[in-house]
Amino acid sequence: MKELVIISGKGGTGKTSVTASFAVLADRPVVCDCDVDAADLHLVLEPTIRERHEFESGHEAVIRQSDCT
């Protein structure tokens, strides 16, 4: 099994399009759309959704400027 993770902190970079393209090419893909703002990979692939999990966290995101150079 091979694992591929596609991430970017910026919206509109084509993550969903690239992910959908790889999923279509894969023999038996398992995909997980973890976008907290707009998880819309299902709109492109129209998959059979086997599991769905709501996620809530009390943690607040922290930007470490030293890591953003």
Q: What is the mean pLDDT of residues 31-54?
A: 87
Q: What is the mean pLDDT of residues 34-58?
A: 86
For the cut 90, the answer to whether the pLDDT of residue 47 exceeds it is no
Residue by residue, DSSP assigns 12-61 as TSSHHHHHHHHHHHSSS-------SS---HHHHH----------------
For the whole model, what pTM was predicted?
0.66
User: What pLDDT shows up at residue 38?
Assistant: 84
Kindly report each contact of residues 19-28 with a partner whose C-beta sits within 8 Å and lies 24 or more positions away, as own/partner: 20/44, 20/45
The percentage of residues in the chain with a pLDDT greater than 90, rounded to a whole number, is 32
The residue extents of the domains of the chain are 13-48
The percentage of residues in the chain with a pLDDT greater than 70, rounded to a whole number, is 100
